[in-house]
Amino acid sequence: MAPFTLELVPIPAGRFDISTPSGTSEISCVVPFILKDGRSMIAMGRKDGVEIGIHQQANSRRLVLHIQNVTHVAFIPDSGAFLVLADRELWVYDIESMVPTSLEKQRAARERERLSTRNVLWFRVGQYDGRTLVVFVTKELDGCMFHVLEAMPGPGVRADLRDFAQDIMITNTSAMFFKPYTHFELPGEARDIIFLGHNVLFIVCDRGGGGFRKTMITATEGLTQSVAFPVLDTDHEQLAKHVATAKPLNVFSVPRAGSGVRKFEFLVCYDEFGLYVNVNGELSRPVGDAIIHWGGSVDRLMSHGNHFLLFSSRSIDIRALDTGRVVETLPTQDIEGVWTAADCGCEVGEASGLGSAALSPHLLAYCAMRESGDCFGPGLLQLYGLQTKLDL
């Protein structure tokens, strides 16, 4: 048994009427956050803009950004930066201009900035080298260009810095959300980047090869390491063919005790199976123990302490991180979207929860599901919070 059970709790601010032609038919992205005045908020992107409401108030949601084709949003609390990817352009807004905590702060809010030209494929926010970084990717002729920005401290922090060191602060720093960190280019398609901790990045590639690239970067040198992952030798030719046709999804760090030193291996996850490998990408266990089959296709995976969760349209499974064994299954109806801490731009620690950014300290993810209205068609699209319920 898992040390916790899962439950899906309806989010009052995440209930949409889709029975009318003007009703939204989908939620494209979700991010929870807490304002400096203590209000627990939730932002949801959709085709015609961004709506923000108070997490637990059903009628509090308002359309605060009229912007077309929103596909991803994220929030950086330290700087108050709210990032929006819409129509393949990446914008950043001061949260005070969207949901002001006071009239004075609304008037002082920084103007929005466009961080990119068109053709941004996706972006991610994560922690690396003690910094908060934003990585966004644009399509190039022979591959993808990775643009890496470092988040600047918020206006309040910069004001404190100016008090101590006015002579080294440039005039327009107060208006900046980010500064350049580095950039690099890789061949082929890139679909995601995973901030795994220990200053290790994994780039999720398209099908083919191993599906991942283990990557390291620095501000001064840019890309310092990028190797295909995992590495399967000729003794595992059939497995290599299986990996080459699988859809890469995620990588987890798995702590292992050995010789008094804490060691790590990686669980490399695809849509139908996972592999335990060492830091060099080679199988870390006998082949029969190194492969875990999910028993079907999954859409998303996330870690939570010593366990990881697998999301499919019909169920959510909890598995032990060190063995891959199923410890609990939560049946669901058709899940139309899943958003975890990595999607929301929240810092992903060992717990990987959204508790620091949302109302409940046990909130792990958000799921969207339709609820039938009557025999004539769908009526509601409901956002749920996936929470842990500790066993007593």
Overall average pLDDT of the 328-354 stretch? 73
Residue type, 295: G
- Any idea which of 20-29, 223-232, 316-325, 355-364 has the lowest mean pLDDT? 355-364
pLDDT attached to residue 60: 93
Residue labelled with tokens 């008094």: 260
pLDDT attached to residue 349: 37
Residue 63 has pLDDT above 80, yes or no: yes
Q: How many domains does the chain have?
A: 1
pLDDT attached to residue 379: 74
pLDDT attached to residue 362: 77
Higher model confidence: residue 89 or residue 173?
Answer: 89
Higher model confidence: residue 366 or residue 171?
Answer: 366
DSSP 283: B
Residue 154 has pLDDT above 60, yes or no: yes
Higher model confidence: residue 313 or residue 281?
Answer: 281
Q: Identify the band that residue 351 occupies on the pLDDT scale cut at 50, 70 and 90.
A: very low
Average pLDDT, the chain: 85
Residue 353 has pLDDT above 80, yes or no: no
Residue 32 has pLDDT above 50, yes or no: yes
pLDDT attached to residue 258: 63
pLDDT attached to residue 142: 85
Q: How far is 345 from 126, CA to CA, in rounded Å?
A: 6
Tell me what percent of the residues of the chain surpass a pLDDT of 90. Answer: 59
Look up residue 141 and give its two tokens. Answer: 């002729």
pLDDT attached to residue 162: 42
Pick from 27-36, 203-212, 350-359 the range whose average pLDDT is largest: 27-36
Dihedral over Cα of 285, 325, 269, 234: its sign: positive
In CATH, what number is assigned to the domain containing residue 168? 2.130.10.10
pLDDT attached to residue 23: 53
Pick from 113-122, 163-172, 351-360 the range whose average pLDDT is largest: 113-122
Longest dimension (CA), the chain: 70
Length of the chain: 392
pTM: 0.87
pLDDT attached to residue 19: 67
What one-character-per-residue DSSP string does 226-263 give? Answer: EEEES---GGGHHHHHHHHHS-EEEEEEEEEEETTEEE
Q: Identify the band that residue 1 occupies on the pLDDT scale cut at 50, 70 and 90.
A: low
C-alpha 42, offset from chain centre: 15
Q: How far is 188 from 144, CA to CA, in rounded Å?
A: 7
Digit-coded pLDDT (tens) for 84-103: 999 999 999 999 999 998 88
Q: Identify the band that residue 205 occupies on the pLDDT scale cut at 50, 70 and 90.
A: very high
Q: How far is 242 from 248, CA to CA, in rounded Å?
A: 12
Overall average pLDDT of the 182-200 stretch? 92
Residues 6+ apart with CB under 8 A from 264: 198, 253, 254, 255, 256, 279
pLDDT attached to residue 243: 94
Q: How many CB atoms lie within 10 A of CB 119?
A: 12
pLDDT attached to residue 25: 62
Domain holding 230, by residue range, is 4-390
pLDDT attached to residue 141: 86
pLDDT attached to residue 375: 46
Closest CA to 294 of 310, 273, 324, 319: 273
pLDDT attached to residue 118: 78
Q: Identify the band that residue 226 occupies on the pLDDT scale cut at 50, 70 and 90.
A: very high
pLDDT attached to residue 160: 43
Neighbour order of strands in the sheet with 363-374:
4-17, 377-390, 363-374, 335-339
